[in-house]
C-alpha cells in the first residue's frame, strides 16, 4: 500500500512554486477557480513541447485552486485556506474541465511524438472521466471510518501544516477558524445525500461520532490534558525563535479559534450525525443507491481501468481463490501437516513460532530481517531490471503517535531532490498481526522490487508532464506491488516453504477481495457474509476480516485493483514471451511497465504491444 502523501509528492514544490507565485495575487485572497489554460501563454518550439507545456500549465492552475494540495506539495500560497466543498465550486470545476477538454482536443495529435501522444490521450481520458463522473458525485460517504473531513482536519494540521515562523502560525490559526465553514459545507453535502437516500450503514456512525467528539477533548475544551490540535500547535510554536510574549499571543489566539470556531463546527456535525444515525440501516452495498448498479459498474471501470463486469470479477476471484488454495495444499504437504486446509490456516494463525515477541528486541529483529531481505534483493536486481532508482530506501517502524491506527505496512516516496529516501514502514504495534512468514512478501511489495522501484523511478523520469509524474492509477500501482511479491520466487527466493505460504496468503487476500467486493455491492451480501468468506478462506485473523469488509462497504470497487492489476501484468508478460520467444527479455518488459509512469491497464496493453512490434523489427 502506498502512503497517501506519496501520491502528492512534496518535492514537486520547487517546480510549481515559481509558476504558482506568479498568480499569487490572483489566488491568495480568494479560493475561486480560474479559467482554463490560456493557449497563448505557451511559447515553445515543437508541437510536443507546446503540448507538454500546456499540460503542465493546466496542472499548475489546478494546484493553484486547491489549497490543501498546495500544502501537500510544499507550496504556501494559500496556507491559511481549506478547499471549497460547495456545489457552486463543483460546478465551476466542471466548467473548467469542459473548457480544458476542448483546448486539449484541439491539438493535432499527429504532430506529437509517441510519448506526448500517450500524455495527450491520458489527459483527455482524465478530463472526460471527471466530466462523466460529475453525475455520481453524491454516490459516496464523505464521513466514514476510513477517511473524511472530520478526521482530515486534525491529521492535516498535525502532519502537513508546518510552522516555521509567525506568519505560518497565523495561517494555522486561520485554518482552525476556517474549519467551521468547512464542517458546515460537509453537513450540507451530507444533507444532499440524505435527500437522495444515500446514507452510510449503521456500523459507520459509532466510529465517526466517537472520532469527532475526540477532537473536542482536552484543553481548551476541558481540564484534561491538551487536546490533539492544541497540543500540536503549542509544540510547533514553542520551537520558534520568538519571544515568550509573542508565543503567548499565538497560543491565546488558537485557543479562541478552537473554542469559537472549531468546536461549534464539530458540535454541529455530531448533532447532525446523531440524527442521521436514526435513519441509517444495515444495507451495506452500493446496490441500494439510486442507479446503484450503473454507479458500481462505473466505479469498477475507473478502479480497474478495464471493461470487466462485476460478474466477471466475482468469477475471477472464485477461480483465483481455488487455484491459490491448491498451491497452499502443496506447501501443507511439503511441511508434513496433517489435517484440512482450514486446520493448516489455524496452525499458521496461532502457532507462536511464526510471531516475534512484542518486545523491543522482537521488533528490532523484525526490522533487521526486513532490511536483510531488501539488501539481498538489491543485489539481484540486474537480472530483472535495466532501470533502477537513484533514491535510497530505508526501513522504519511506524511511529508511536500513529501506529495504532495505521495500516500494517506502507511506503512513502523519496524526495526527488535526494533530501529524503524512500521509506518502507512496518507497523509493529501489534506483533501478532505481523507474522514472520509474510515478512518477505511485505518487504518486496512495499520496498524492492515493489513500490520503491516503481514510484522512485516515476519521479526520476525526464520528459514526462507533471500530471503523469505526480498522478497515478491504483490498478497499475498496486498491481505492480502485488506482482513484485511474485518476482522473487522466479529467481529462487522464498526457499522457506512457510515464507512461500506467506506470499500466497497475501495474494489470496487480494483474490478474496474480488469475491467480497462484488458480493457486497451486487449480490447483497451482508457484513457477516463477507467476514465469514474471509475467515473461511484465508489464514488471517477475524479482526482483519472485519476491517476489510467494512472497507469494501465505504469504498466500492477500490479493493479490486490489486489482483486485476497483477493479473494483467502477468498476462501481458506471457503474451510478450509467446510473441518474442528467444528475443524476450524480462528486463526490457519491466522497463515498459515502469518507465512510462502509472498508466491505465488498456494503455499498458498498448505499450507492451508496441514494444513487441519494435522488438520483432
| Strands across the sheet containing 393-397 | 393-397, 422-426, 409-412
Distances (CA, A) of 131 to 28, 100, 136, 408, 555: 27, 11, 10, 36, 21
Whole-number Å distance between alpha carbons of 36 and 65 = 12
Phi and psi of 24, rounded to 5°? -55, -45
Phi and psi of 238, rounded to 5°? -70, -15
- Domain boundary residue among 234, 251, 281? 281
pLDDT at position 181: 98
Q: Kindly state whether residue 408 falls inside one of the protein's structural domains.
A: yes
pLDDT tens, 219-273? 999 999 999 999 999 999 999 999 999 999 999 999 999 999 999 999 999 999 9
pLDDT band at 23 (very low <50, low <70, confident <90, very high): very low
Q: Kindly state whether residue 592 falls inside one of the protein's structural domains.
A: no
Report the pLDDT averaged over residues 311-330.
Answer: 98
Report the pLDDT averaged over residues 51-57.
Answer: 97
Report the pLDDT averaged over residues 324-332.
Answer: 98
Q: Kindly state whether residue 289 falls inside one of the protein's structural domains.
A: no
Find out whether 393 and 504 touch, Cβ atoms under 8 Å.
no
Q: Kindly state whether residue 291 falls inside one of the protein's structural domains.
A: no
Residues 156, 104 share a domain: no
pLDDT tens, 189-218? 999 999 999 999 999 999 999 999 999 999
Residues 73, 119 share a domain: yes
Report the pLDDT averaged over residues 409-429.
Answer: 85
Whole-number Å distance between alpha carbons of 5 and 94 = 25
Report the pLDDT averaged over residues 439-460.
Answer: 94
Which is more confident, 159 or 141? 141
**CA torsion, points 211, 215, 218, 224, in degrees to nearest 10?**
0
pLDDT band at 414 (very low <50, low <70, confident <90, very high): confident
* SS3 call for 409: strand
Mean pLDDT of the chain: 91
Percentage of the chain exceeding pLDDT 70: 92
Cα angle 409, 415, 418 (rounded to 5 degrees) comes to: 120
Q: Kindly state whether residue 610 falls inside one of the protein's structural domains.
A: no
Residues 203, 62 share a domain: no
- Domain boundary residue among 252, 281, 310? 281
Number of domains in the chain: 3
- Domain boundary residue among 86, 111, 138? 138
Residues 372, 259 share a domain: no
Distances (CA, A) of 418 to 298, 415, 421: 39, 5, 7
* SS3 call for 393: strand
Residues 481, 459 share a domain: yes
Residues 199, 160 share a domain: yes
Report the pLDDT averaged over residues 386-413.
Answer: 85
Residues 259, 358 share a domain: no
Domain that holds residue 22: 1-138
Residues 34, 5 share a domain: yes
pLDDT band at 401 (very low <50, low <70, confident <90, very high): low
Residues 335, 322 share a domain: yes
pLDDT tens, 7-20? 333 333 333 333 33
pLDDT at position 155: 87
Residues 438, 319 share a domain: yes
pTM assigned to the model: 0.89
Percentage of the chain exceeding pLDDT 90: 83
Residue 519 pLDDT greater than 70, yes or no: yes
Whole-number Å distance between alpha carbons of 503 and 437 = 8
Residues 5, 124 share a domain: yes
Residue 44 pLDDT greater than 80, yes or no: no
Q: Kindly state whether residue 572 falls inside one of the protein's structural domains.
A: no
Distances (CA, A) of 501 to 337, 348, 370: 13, 9, 17
pLDDT tens, 487-503? 999 999 999 999 999 99
Residues 125, 149 share a domain: no
pLDDT at position 305: 97
Find out whether 469 and 597 touch, Cβ atoms under 8 Å.
yes
For residue 397, what are the β-bridge partners? Answer: 426
Q: Kindly state whether residue 315 falls inside one of the protein's structural domains.
A: yes
Amino acid at each position: 500500500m502506498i502512503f497517501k502523501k506519496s501520491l502528492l509528492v512534496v518535492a514537486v514544490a520547487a517546480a510549481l512554486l515559481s509558476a504558482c507565485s506568479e498568480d499569487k495575487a490572483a489566488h491568495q485572497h480568494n479560493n475561486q477557480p480560474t479559467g482554463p489554460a490560456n493557449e497563448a501563454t505557451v511559447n515553445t518550439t515543437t508541437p510536443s513541447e507546446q503540448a507538454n507545456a500546456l499540460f503542465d500549465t493546466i496542472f499548475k492552475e489546478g494546484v493553484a485552486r486547491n489549497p490543501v494540495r498546495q500544502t501537500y506539495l510544499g507550496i504556501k500560497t494559500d496556507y491559511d485556506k481549506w478547499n471549497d466543498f460547495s456545489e457552486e465550486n463543483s460546478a465551476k470545476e466542471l466548467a473548467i474541465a469542459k473548457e480544458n477538454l476542448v483546448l486539449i482536443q484541439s491539438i493535432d495529435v499527429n504532430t506529437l511524438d509517441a510519448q506526448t501522444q500517450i500524455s495527450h490521450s491520458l489527459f483527455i481520458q482524465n478530463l472526460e472521466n471527471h466530466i462523466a463522473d460529475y453525475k455520481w458525485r453524491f454516490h459516496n460517504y464523505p464521513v466514514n471510518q476510513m477517511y473524511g473531513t472530520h478526521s482530515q482536519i486534525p491529521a492535516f494540521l498535525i502532519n502537513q501544516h508546518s510552522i516555521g515562523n509567525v506568519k505560518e502560525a497565523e495561517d494555522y490559526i486561520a485554518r482552525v477558524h476556517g474549519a467551521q465553514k468547512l464542517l458546515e459545507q460537509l453537513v450540507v453535502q451530507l444533507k444532499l445525500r440524505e435527500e437522495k437516500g444515500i446514507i452510510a450503514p449503521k456500523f459507520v456512525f459509532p466510529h465517526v461520532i466517537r472520532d469527532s467528539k475526540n477532537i473536542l477533548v482536552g484543553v481548551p475544551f476541558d481540564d484534561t490534558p491538551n487536546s490533539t490540535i492544541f497540543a500540536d500547535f503549542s509544540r510547533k510554536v514553542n520551537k520558534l525563535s520568538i519571544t515568550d510574549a509573542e508565543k503567548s499571543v499565538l497560543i491565546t489566539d488558537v485557543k479562541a479559534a478552537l473554542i469559537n470556531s472549531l468546536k461549534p463546527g464539530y458540535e454541529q456535525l455530531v448533532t447532525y450525525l446523531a440524527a442521521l444515525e436514526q435513519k441509517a440501516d444495515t444495507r451495506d452495498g452500493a446496490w441500494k443507491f439510486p442507479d446503484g448498479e450503473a454507479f458500481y459498474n462505473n466505479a469498477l471501470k475507473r478502479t480497474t481501468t478495464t471493461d470487466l463486469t462485476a460478474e466477471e470479477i466475482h468469477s475471477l476471484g472464485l477461480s483465483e481463490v481455488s487455484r491459490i488454495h491448491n498451491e497452499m495444499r502443496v506447501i501443507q504437504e511439503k511441511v508434513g501437516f496433517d489435517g484440512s486446509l482450514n486446520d493448516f490456516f489455524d496452525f499458521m494463525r496461532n502457532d507462536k513460532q511464526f510471531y516475534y515477541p512484542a518486545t523491543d528486541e522482537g521488533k528490532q529483529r523484525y526490522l533487521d530481517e526486513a532490511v536483510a531481505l531488501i539488501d539481498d534483493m538489491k543485489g539481484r536486481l540486474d537480472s530483472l531490471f535495466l532501470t533502477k532508482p537513484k533514491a535510497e530506501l530505508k526501513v522504519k517502524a511506524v511511529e508511536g503517535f500513529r501506529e495504532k491506527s495505521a495500516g500494517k505496512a506502507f511506503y512513502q516516496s523519496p524526495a526527488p531532490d535526494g533530501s529524503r529516501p524512500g521509506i518502507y514502514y512496518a507497523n509493529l504495534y501489534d506483533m501478532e498481526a505481523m507474522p514472520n512468514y509474510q515478512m518477505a512478501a511485505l518487504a518486496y511489495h512495499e520496498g524492492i522490487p515493489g513500490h520503491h522501484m516503481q514510484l522512485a523511478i516515476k519521479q526520476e523520469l525526464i520528459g514526462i508532464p507533471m500530471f503523469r509524474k505526480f498522478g497515478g492509477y491504483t490498478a497499475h500501482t498496486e498491481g505492480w506491488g502485488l506482482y513484485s511479491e511474485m518476482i522473487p520466487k522466479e529467481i529462487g527466493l522464498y526457499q522457506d516453504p512457510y515464507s512461500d505460504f506467506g506470499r500466497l496468503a497475501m495474494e489470496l487476500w487480494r483474490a478474496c477481495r474480488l469475491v467480497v467486493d462484488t458480493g457486497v455491492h451486487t449480490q447483497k451480501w451482508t457484513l457477516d457474509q463477507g467476514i465469514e468468506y474471509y475467515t473461511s478462506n484465508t489464514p488471517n485473523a477475524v479482526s482483519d476480516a472485519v476491517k476489510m469488509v467494512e472497507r469494501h462497504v465505504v469504498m466500492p470497487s477500490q479493493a479490486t485493483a490489486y489482483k486485476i492489476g497483477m493479473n494483467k501484468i502477468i498476462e501481458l508478460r506471457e503474451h510478450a514471451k509467446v510473441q518474442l520467444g528467444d528475443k524476450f527479455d524480462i528486463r526490457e518488459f519491466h522497463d515498459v511497465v515502469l518507465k512510462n509512469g502509472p498508466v491505465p491497464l488498456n494503455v499498458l496493453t498498448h505499450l507492451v504491444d508496441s514494444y513487441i512490434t519494435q522488438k520483432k523489427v
